Amino acid sequence: MSIVSTPPAARVRSYRTASGIEIWHVEDYTVPVLSVECAFQGGAAQDPEGKCGLSNLLTGLMDEGAGSLDSAAFQELLEEKAIELSFDAGRDRISASLRTLADNATEAFRLLGLAMQAPRFDQDAIERVRSQIVSGLKRDESDPGARARDRLNALAFEGHSYGRSAEGKIDELMSITRDDIVHQHGRLFAREQLHIVAVGAITPDLLVALVEGAFGPLAAKPQLTPLEAVSMKNLGRRDIIDLDIPQSTLYLALPGIARKDADHMPAMILNHILGGGSFTSRLWFEVREKRGLAYSVWSMLANRNLASLFFAGTATSNERVAESLEIMLREINRIARDGASPEELEQAIRFQTGSYALRFDTSRKIAHQLLEIKIEELGIDYIDRRNAEVSAVKLDDLARVGARLFGNAEPLIVVAGRPIGL
C-alpha cells in the first residue's frame, strides 16, 4: 500500500489494493460514521436491444439476498447493524452507496462484497422488483415531465442506446429472464474502471483490507459493448405529446460542452447567469418574476460519457406555453449576442465559490463529490484548484462560450400537455 499524493486542503489520499483497485480516502473521526461511494463503468447504456431496463432491474435486486441469505435475512442484517446499502443504474455507470457506523464497517463491507460476488436473484424477488418498476413506469405514463424527458432523449439520441429509457419499457422488462440478469451482472461488475471513494472514521490499513475483500474477487475486466460518441439529432424540431391536462411541461435542448472541455467552466458560469442561478438568473427574472408565467424555470448542462447537452425547461398553463417559450428563446439569443455584464459575472463567481463548501458538509456529500471528480479524471487536488478556476473566468470567455453554445440556436423542443398557440 502506498500513498499517491496528499493535497493539503482537501486531505484526500489515494491507496491501491493488492489487486490494483485505487481508493480515494478522507480519514475523519469527527463522527463515527463511514460513507463509501462506488461506480462501475457501464450501466443502462449497456442494456441489450430488446432488454431495455435490464440494468435497472439488476440493481434493484442487488440487495435482495446474497449467498446463503435470502432477501428477508439480508435486509434484517442491514437493519440490525444500521447499514445503508443501495445500488443504482445510471446511463453510464452502476453505482453502489454504503453508509455505516464505524464499528460496523467490517460487517458492512462483508455484506457489500456478498451482494456483488454472490447475488441470489431469486425468482420471487425478481417478480417483486419487476412489479415495482412496472408500477412506476405506469405512473410515468401520466406524468408530463417524465413523458417529455423520455421523448426528448429518444429524439436527441435517435438510434443510440442513450435514446432508450434508463428505467425500462414495460413490454421489454416483462421479457427479461433470470439468465439475462445473471449475464448482465457478470458483464458489468468487474475491477477495471471501478471507482471507490471512502470518507469517515476508518484507518487506511483497514479500509484497504476491506475493499480488497469485497471487490478483489470480482472479474478483472468488464465485458462492455463498445459505444460510439453521439451528436445530438433533430435540432429545430418541435414535438408535442398530447395530454389532457391544464398545465404543460416544456423542455428544450441544444448540444452542450463536455466536462473535460477547456470551455466547461465558462459554460457553467454562463449557464448560472442564464438559468441555473435560481432566483438570480435571467430566465427566472423574465419568466417568473417579471411576468408570472411559471412557478419554476431553469437551465443546466448535462454531461454523459458520449454526449453533452444544454437543457432548459419550465411548466406552465397551456395558455402561457407559447409566450414562455418565446421569452426563453429570446434570452438565449440575447446572451449569445450580447454576452453577460460585469455585474452578472461577479455575482456568479461569488455564488459559485462561496457555495462550493456546502457540497462537503457531510461525509456522504464529500464522498459523492469526490467520486464525480475521480470519474471525470479532474485530479485528486481538484477541490483545492476549483475555486481559482472559477475566479479566472472572464467576460471574453463567456462571450466565446455563448457564441459556441447558442450562436446558431435551433433547439429541439418537446412539450407534454395541450399548449395553445404552439
Is residue 114 within 8 A of residue 63, CB to CB? The reply is no
The confidence score (pLDDT) of residue 161 equals: 95
pLDDT at 6 over 70: no
pLDDT digit string, tens, across residues 405-422: 999 889 999 999 999 998
Q: What is the mean pLDDT of residues 15-35?
A: 97
Buried b (16+ CB within 10 A) or exposed e, 124-146: ebbeebbeebbeebeebeebbeb
Sign of CA dihedral 350, 351, 355, 359: negative
Cα separation of the two ends of the chain: 62
The confidence score (pLDDT) of residue 408 equals: 83
The confidence score (pLDDT) of residue 280 equals: 87
pLDDT digit string, tens, across residues 390-408: 999 999 999 999 999 999 8
pLDDT digit string, tens, across residues 87-125: 999 999 999 999 999 999 999 999 999 999 999 999 999
Q: Which CATH number fits domain 238-417: 3.30.830.10, 3.40.50.620, 3.40.50.740, 3.30.70.270?
A: 3.30.830.10
Please indicate whether the domains covering 13-215 and 238-417 agree at the CATH topology level: yes
Spatial distance between the Cα atoms of 402 and 344, rounded to a whole number of angstroms = 14
pLDDT at 268 over 70: yes
The confidence score (pLDDT) of residue 296 equals: 92
Model-wide pTM > 0.85 = yes
pLDDT digit string, tens, across residues 179-201: 999 999 999 999 999 999 999 99
The confidence score (pLDDT) of residue 277 equals: 75
pLDDT band at 10 (very low <50, low <70, confident <90, very high): low
Mean residue pLDDT of the chain comes to 95
The CATH topology of domain 13-215 is: Cytochrome Bc1 Complex; Chain A, domain 1 (3.30.830)
pLDDT band at 278 (very low <50, low <70, confident <90, very high): confident
Cell of 341: 455584464
Cβ neighbours, 10 Å, residue 258:
18
Element housing 303 (H / E) = strand 297-303
Spans of all domains in the chain = 13-215, 238-417
Spatial distance between the Cα atoms of 245 and 242, rounded to a whole number of angstroms = 9
Cβ neighbours, 10 Å, residue 334:
15
Q: Report percent pLDDT > 70 for the chain.
A: 98
